[in-house]
Chain A
Amino acid sequence: MALKDITLGQYFPGKTIIHRLDPRTKLLGTVAYIVALFLASHVVTYAILLVVLAVLIAISKVGLQSILRGMRPVLIIIAITAVLNLFYTPGEGEPLASFWVFTIYAEGIWAAVFMILRIAMLITCTFLLTYTTSPIMLTDGLEKLLSPLKAVHVPIHELAMMMSIALRFIPTLIEETDKIMSAQKARGADFDSGNLIQKAKALVPLLVPLFISAFRRADELAVAMECRCYHGGAGRTRLRQLRLGGIDVAALLLSVGLCVGIGVLGHYGW
């Protein structure tokens, strides 16, 4: 097992329009899409949202396969929600089927289908965000978007910095884990067999060096930051200036349009 194969942060580098959008646009767009998703309640509106999502996936060139692969861990949640909706949605007409304490109404089937679609689309659109935006860009965008909160003394810059450092070190720590694991395996350590207690014990030779190295790295990073006169967010300028271009404005307008449109359609019973 190679830990390297785990996709974390899940960013797939690319040069499509979606990749090039400002992270703030993408964040707001995702929020707008999710809101629209919750406003939708009719086949027509769901169909519109599904088409929009399909178009976005096609433009981003992410590939359906990687999205489906990312979906795997949440399959159980989707399944449970669908089953619960199926059995516990009360209906007005004749029950379609009934056994023991369970009764299934036509409404239940609809509710289950919509719920599956809703969760799947919700996850897919957030995937699209993380697949096309590098984690650093994402935190930059978040920091910018949340910066008004600084007025009420929420340490936005510090939180964003902590987040970028954490994200920055995930691959490093994974690599380190991989290396230490190999080194201990080379000395005959066995991480895969034995019962739970033996497995937990086998982790000691992995965790001790990993923690030590994490603390060492934190120390070194703190010194390096201090050497370069880091003193918090006040008055700091950025290397990558985020700028909203025409394409961002267009994308934002489209998102708002989608949101409002779905809302209006919903109002007229669609």
Chain B
Amino acid sequence: MEPIIQTERLSHIYSAGTPFEHGALVDVDFTAYRGEYLGIIGHTGSGKSTLIQHLNGLLKPTSGKVLFEGKDIWETKERTRQIRFQVGLVFQYPEYQLFEETVYKDIAFGPGNMGLDPAEIDRRVRQAAQFVGLKEETLAKSPFELSGGQKRRVAIAGVIAMEPSVLILDEPTAGLDPVGVESILGNIHDYHVAKNATIIIVSHSMEEMARTVDRIVVVNDGKIPFSGTPREVFAHGDQLEQMGLGVPAMTRVFHRLKSLGVDIDPSVYTIEQARDAILTKLGKGAV
């Protein structure tokens, strides 16, 4: 697979030279491949938010490099700005950044900054609204009269409208009800499929992560201790617990079985995998 974003020995130190100095990232080598659906997990303060803000040039590395399609994103000022349109970043609780009079205008803010012509902006706004499931009549409303979930959709649409080839979302489902969670994750998946976009989702919900992503990168203490498919990552159950990251409930049960002396594969995280593991153990083979 071809890498789209890479970091090379990326370090970031906050408040350098003051008593409050602390390293948020230490020599991080991170790679996201074109078209993949990637998850980043880590608990609060692990450095995951700092990492993603480097990927679109919002933070400048203290040392190390960030490459987009193989070229340093800090080469020129213009390139850094263009990268922000290529790598769309949706912050946590993005609904708090809405400011325009109408939903339409707010979604059009990003494309407008790109300097596109009005017809193209119009197309993108409508398409983005469609991706996140906003109705036509909502576009004329003020974003401040919408519900929390709707506001979140507007904010995500505002980034999608820039049609980035990499879409990064920081805890996109935080504080939503289960139906809202499913629906937003579905919208993101739609965008992934329709534009063959690379998606990077930051979360601390293992269950949600396990269901949606191809690959998981674990961030802890400003480093990446391990990464891989959900199965590979969940095999490190004990280490994950030590980092304060629970594994899915299913995986925990199997880890416990294993530690009780049952010879069983503990890396499962879905009902189907659990069934197969149990059947294998009972000597009946997977169905």
Report yes or no: A204 in contact with B99, Cβ–Cβ below 8 A.
yes
* A186 and B14 in contact, given A13-B19, A205-B99 (Cβ under 8 angstroms): no
Q: Contact check: which of B15, B89, B90, B99 meets A209 at CB < 8 Å? A: B99
Report yes or no: A185 in contact with B84, Cβ–Cβ below 8 A.
yes
Bound together, the chains give a CA A42 to CA B56 distance in angstroms of: 60
Q: Which residues of B contact A269 (CB under 8 A)?
A: none
Q: Residue on A with the closest CB to B112? A: A188
Q: Which residues of A contact B89 (CB under 8 A)?
A: 183, 186
Report yes or no: B113 in contact with A190, Cβ–Cβ below 8 A.
yes
Q: Residue on A with the closest CB to B168? A: A186
Bound together, the chains give a CA A185 to CA B94 distance in angstroms of: 13
B contacts with A, residue count (CB < 8 A): 27
Report yes or no: B99 in contact with A187, Cβ–Cβ below 8 A.
no
Q: Which residues of B contact A186 (CB under 8 A)?
A: 56, 58, 84, 88-91, 159
Report yes or no: B81 in contact with A188, Cβ–Cβ below 8 A.
yes
* A188 and B19 in contact, given A180-B97, A209-B98 (Cβ under 8 angstroms): no
Interface flag for B114 (CB, 8 Å): yes
Interface flag for B162 (CB, 8 Å): yes
Q: Residue on B with the closest CB to A14? A: B19
Q: Which residues of B contact A212 (CB under 8 A)?
A: 96, 144
Report yes or no: B94 in contact with A183, Cβ–Cβ below 8 A.
yes
* A188 and B58 in contact, given A180-B97, A183-B91, A209-B99 (Cβ under 8 angstroms): no
Q: Residue on A with the closest CB to B82? A: A188
Bound together, the chains give a CA A12 to CA B162 distance in angstroms of: 43
Classify chain A: how many residues form its interface, as a range: 20 to 34
Q: Which residues of A contact B84 (CB under 8 A)?
A: 185-188
Q: Which residues of A contact B98 (CB under 8 A)?
A: 209
Give chain A nearest CB distance to B265 CB in angstroms: 41
Which among B89, B99, B109, B162 has the highest number of chain A CB atoms within 10 Å? B99
Q: Which residues of A contact B158 (CB under 8 A)?
A: 187
Bound together, the chains give a CA A188 to CA B86 distance in angstroms of: 10
Bound together, the chains give a CA A180 to CA B97 distance in angstroms of: 6
Interface flag for A218 (CB, 8 Å): no
Report yes or no: B162 in contact with A187, Cβ–Cβ below 8 A.
yes
When each residue 73-103 of chain B gets 1 if its CB lies under 8 Å from chain A and 0 otherwise, what string results? Answer: 0000000010011001111001011110000
Interface flag for A179 (CB, 8 Å): yes
Interface flag for B42 (CB, 8 Å): no
Bound together, the chains give a CA A208 to CA B98 distance in angstroms of: 8
Interface flag for A184 (CB, 8 Å): yes
Report yes or no: A188 in contact with B114, Cβ–Cβ below 8 A.
yes
Bound together, the chains give a CA A57 to CA B99 distance in angstroms of: 47
Q: Residue on A with the closest CB to B87? A: A186
Q: Residue on A with the closest CB to B158? A: A187
* A187 and B110 in contact, given A180-B96, A209-B99 (Cβ under 8 angstroms): yes
Q: Contact check: which of A2, A12, A188, A209 meets B97 at CB < 8 Å? A: A209
A197-230 residues with Cβ-Cβ distance < 8 A to B are 204-205, 208-209, 212-213
Give chain B nearest CB distance to A19 CB in angstroms: 13
Report yes or no: B19 in contact with A187, Cβ–Cβ below 8 A.
no
Q: Which residues of A contact B212 (CB under 8 A)?
A: none
Interface flag for B227 (CB, 8 Å): no
Bound together, the chains give a CA A205 to CA B14 distance in angstroms of: 26
Interface flag for A4 (CB, 8 Å): yes
Interface flag for A16 (CB, 8 Å): no
Interface flag for B150 (CB, 8 Å): no
* A205 and B109 in contact, given A182-B91, A186-B89 (Cβ under 8 angstroms): yes
* A184 and B58 in contact, given A189-B113, A190-B113, A205-B109 (Cβ under 8 angstroms): no
Bound together, the chains give a CA A190 to CA B58 distance in angstroms of: 12
Interface flag for A5 (CB, 8 Å): yes
Bound together, the chains give a CA A185 to CA B109 distance in angstroms of: 11
Which among B56, B85, B96 has the highest number of chain A CB atoms within 10 Å? B96
Which among B53, B113, B144 has the highest number of chain A CB atoms within 10 Å? B113
Q: Residue on A with the closest CB to B99? A: A208
Q: Which residues of A contact B144 (CB under 8 A)?
A: 212
Bound together, the chains give a CA A158 to CA B32 distance in angstroms of: 54
Give chain B nearest CB distance to A182 CB in angstroms: 5
Q: Which residues of A are at the interface with B, using a C-beta cutoff of 8 A?
A: 2, 4-5, 7, 12-13, 179-180, 182-190, 204-205, 208-209, 212-213
Q: What are the 10 closest A-B residue pairs judged by CB atoms, nearest first?
A: A188-B113, A208-B99, A187-B110, A183-B97, A186-B89, A183-B91, A205-B99, A182-B58, A209-B99, A209-B97
Given A187-B109, A205-B109: 9 more A-B contacts, CB < 8 Å: A4-B14, A4-B15, A180-B97, A185-B58, A187-B110, A187-B158, A188-B85, A205-B97, A209-B96
22 CB contacts below 8 A, A to B, read A2-B14, A4-B14, A7-B18, A12-B19, A179-B91, A180-B96, A182-B53, A182-B91, A183-B97, A185-B84, A186-B84, A186-B91, A187-B159, A188-B81, A188-B85, A190-B81, A190-B113, A204-B99, A209-B97, A209-B98, A209-B99, A212-B96
